[in-house]
Structure 1
């Protein structure tokens, strides 16, 4: 695939077990020209998420710059999700130490990259609390014109997974999510209802084993095996949330989607972080957000196996 047809991407993450698979999928996909990885302290603390991002990209032999970002959301503090990701963020799977982060902060690195871009050139993928992205764009909103699409793994139209009302990334920094929804840039929101369809089961892990591959695919399998099954999934397995956002760019034919009006609740009560997703036009909100609703799960896992098998 020629460089002219590859999509320049900034990927904001907080590795995190599912972030690791998303990073590897992005690095293995010729449709994506990954220009920058930025990291916040969401799933576990920032020192750990940054080290994990460097280890994941390093294992893939990638030269993509990785930038240190926000240690806390716009308000309050991040709360780690160690029950799913483990204290180290990768469910106890040890990867070789990666390289070094670039100097400066993530928000500055994002702005520097966008300043030299053409209108609509970049796609931004956010699979973490969206603090870094909001800091970059709220302080220089004209740069939003350089972004053609923002793809976020965030939110739910039903029950949350962090609180009864809210999904983890949205709940971790709802003010930042509100900034992104208000930029006027096309947003695709990959919610819990979609990612629940990307269910990791023993049979799917075994299929990945048969795909062969190198160290990255082997590490991906070990992380899947070590991640505990979800009570929300009835103990049948766990959802592979973040790679769904990357797969949307790589293989949109795997998804069925509609437009919806979306807002996020930023109050301090029990509904904080809830995403109000109007799928049926019941409000007067403009349906500007693309909402993937269905996923060809077998096709998704086949894509993951085929692409990760290309990595070292």
Structure 2
């Protein structure tokens, strides 16, 4: 299965470079040497992220999925500064053997001070695990890569945003004509209930509340994976032990990151991990993992006490908020994706 998936990925990447229209957002028919045909649903995506240990887990899940064709990765300041998030994304691609363009983006929020989470993710963002690096950061900036690839894909490209929404807000401000080309934006951020940085705000929205507000009000079709649902998507201690037992040159450093992340959760009274970013990626792979409902949303940008709080509006409902996760479906999907790296 892993080799079959790799061949599909290489084929789609070649087609996208040579003939962009040939990398379809719908279905690909793959014929094996036996003559048997498989109809595979493939979504074209760009992943905007701020790696981050949970970003790393999400990226590895995305790399392993035969349902996603990743046209690029863009990075933003968030868990650590953008110089590190771009390097981390490229290093994770190197570790996983992925040839994907990585573009660096916003160095901080649209307004206000930079907030990071190195206490959670380590000084380098990856649990202080040092990874080898090959290749170079793209000469295209994040908003340029997003704009050009969205236009090239002709409305078949989705965005998965796992960090602060600064790059997306900049994209929509600089290129308002791009909005109809965004098939869907799936984001991890926000909460209709309690936050995790303040009682009101989740980290990604708190890190750039103005960007979050502009994106949520933009009219782009959005699926939101906030704390309401990601707090209930878990990686349990026995599953961490199982991943560690698989071993190999890819999973060993990844488990070292997980163990670092686990120390943070243990300090909060938990043995397992909350799978914030991986659930968002898994939800793109299989939309049946969660349930939710549509809202019109904005974000508090003025009041310092409630900065980053999600506000329910009476505008047209363009944001589907995921509220319930089927852990019994999410867990095996995620574990099987990571197991594909087993040596």
| TM-score, with structure 2 as normaliser | 0.83
- Pair 1:71 & 2:111 matched: no
Match of 2:330 among 294, 300, 304: 300
The separation in 1 between residues aligned to 2:85 and 2:117, in whole angstroms, is 12
Secondary structure of the corresponding residue to residue 186 of structure 2: strand
The separation in 1 between residues aligned to 2:256 and 2:47, in whole angstroms, is 23
List aligned pairs for 1:150-229, cutoff 5 A.
Answer: 150-210=185-245, 212=246, 214-227=248-261, 228-229=263-264
Secondary structure of the corresponding residue to residue 267 of structure 1: coil
The separation in 2 between residues aligned to 1:257 and 1:168, in whole angstroms, is 21
Structure with greater helix share of residues: 2
Structure 1 match to 2:18: none
- The count of aligned residue pairs is 305
Residues 217 and 298, structure 2, Cα contact 8 Å, conserved in 1? no
Structure 1 match to 2:291: 256
The separation in 2 between residues aligned to 1:98 and 1:295, in whole angstroms, is 37
| TM-score, with structure 1 as normaliser | 0.91
Structure 1: which 5+ residue stretches go unaligned? Answer: none
List aligned pairs for 1:4-153, cutoff 5 A.
Answer: 4=24, 5=27, 6-119=42-155, 121-153=156-188
Q: Which has the higher contact order (CA 8 A, sep 6+)?
A: 1
Structure 2: which 5+ residue stretches go unaligned? Answer: 9-22, 28-41
Secondary structure of the corresponding residue to residue 153 of structure 2: coil
Q: For the structure 1 residues 247 and 95, does the alpha-carbon distance in structure 2 shift closer, same or farther, using more than 3 Å as the test? A: same
User: 1:41: Cα distance to partner?
Assistant: 1.4
Moved over 6 A (4+): none
Show CA shifts across 1:221-268 (max 9, x none): 221111124379643333121111110111222212222232111114
Residues 8 and 32, structure 1, Cα contact 8 Å, conserved in 2? yes
Q: For the aligned residues, what is the CA RMSD?
A: 2.0
User: Which structure has the greater CA radius of gyration?
Assistant: 2
User: 1:194: Cα distance to partner?
Assistant: 0.9
